Every structure is written in structure tokens, then in C-alpha cells.
């Protein structure tokens, strides 16, 4: 069975890299996701294309914000 912490790290890294790559196409949501993951806002290199290398930013993720990136769809029964 895989280690849950390793799995969570891989998911967070995938989200971080995806958010950086989506910045040109979805700038608002990409910024929201990077903020939720607590990727440094004072260092632009942490959010640039060069930061999309797996494991290149060991400093993000402290006190990750909980919330929704997209509001859930409500259905009426």
C-alpha cells in the first residue's frame, strides 16, 4: 500500500505544476489555486514556467487554505 503522505505530496505537486501551466489560460483560477497551496507570492520565480519541475519548490504548502476553487453545482431534486 502506498504511503499516504507520499501520495498527498504527489497530488499537491501535480496541482502546483498544473496551476502554473494554466496561468496564461485561466489566470484568475490559477492564482487562486497557487494561493490555496501557499506558493510564495513575493518571489515571481516560484510561479514561473521554470518552477514546473517536479520538486523544485520545497517551501509551499504550509497552512494550506481549505475551500473551493470552483463552487459545487447544486441540483434540486
CB hemisphere CA count around 65 (13 angstroms): 11
| 26 falls within a domain | yes
Secondary structure class of 24 (helix, strand, coil): coil
CB 59 within 8 A of CB 40: yes
| 16 falls within a domain | yes
What confidence tier does 16 reach under pLDDT thresholds 50, 70, 90?
very high
The tally of domains found in the chain comes to 1
Over the stretch 54-77, which tens digit does the pLDDT of each residue have? Answer: 999 988 877 777 777 777 777 776
| 18 falls within a domain | yes
| 28 falls within a domain | yes
Q: Which domain holds residue 30?
A: 1-39
| 20 falls within a domain | yes
| 27 falls within a domain | yes
Amino acid at each position: 500500500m502506498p504511503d499516504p503522505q507520499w501520495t498527498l505530496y504527489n497530488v499537491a505537486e501535480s496541482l502546483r505544476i498544473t496551476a502554473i501551466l494554466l496561468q496564461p489560460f485561466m489566470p484568475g483560477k490559477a492564482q487562486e489555486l497557487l494561493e490555496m497551496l501557499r506558493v510564495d507570492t513575493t518571489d515571481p520565480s516560484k510561479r514561473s514556467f521554470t518552477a514546473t519541475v517536479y520538486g523544485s519548490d520545497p517551501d509551499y504548502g504550509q497552512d494550506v487554505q481549505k475551500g473551493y476553487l470552483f463552487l459545487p453545482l447544486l441540483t434540486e431534486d
